[in-house]
Amino acid sequence: MGVRCSQCHTVFSLEEEGTEHHACPTCKAEAGLEPVTGVPPAMRMFGAVLGLVVLVAIAGDLVSRIAG
């Protein structure tokens, strides 16, 4: 599981799950560590837009083929 330090924004992974105390390897902060879940929203948005563009391109190609 990855976590992000809210103080220096370093993203690192926790080696041992279930350990009570975690500390940031960069600034040694033990508080304000937020779990990182999957893909960042900005990246997800980019993927959605890219998918939409590809979909429109395929649809446009099909329509132009059918229309002759």
Starting at the edge strand found earlier in the chain, the sheet holding 33-36 runs: 11-13, 2-5, 33-36
Is residue 7 part of the contact set for Zn ion (CB under 5 A)?
A: yes
The site string for Zn ion over 9-48 (x = CB under 5 A, - otherwise) reads -x-------------x-xx-x-------------------
Stretch that binds Zn ion, among 7-15, 40-48, 49-57, 58-66 (CB under 5 A): 7-15
| Whole-Å CA distances, 28 to 6, 10, 34, 37, 63 | 12, 11, 14, 22, 58
Residues in contact with Zn ion by the rule CB under 5 A? 5, 7-8, 10, 24, 26-27, 29
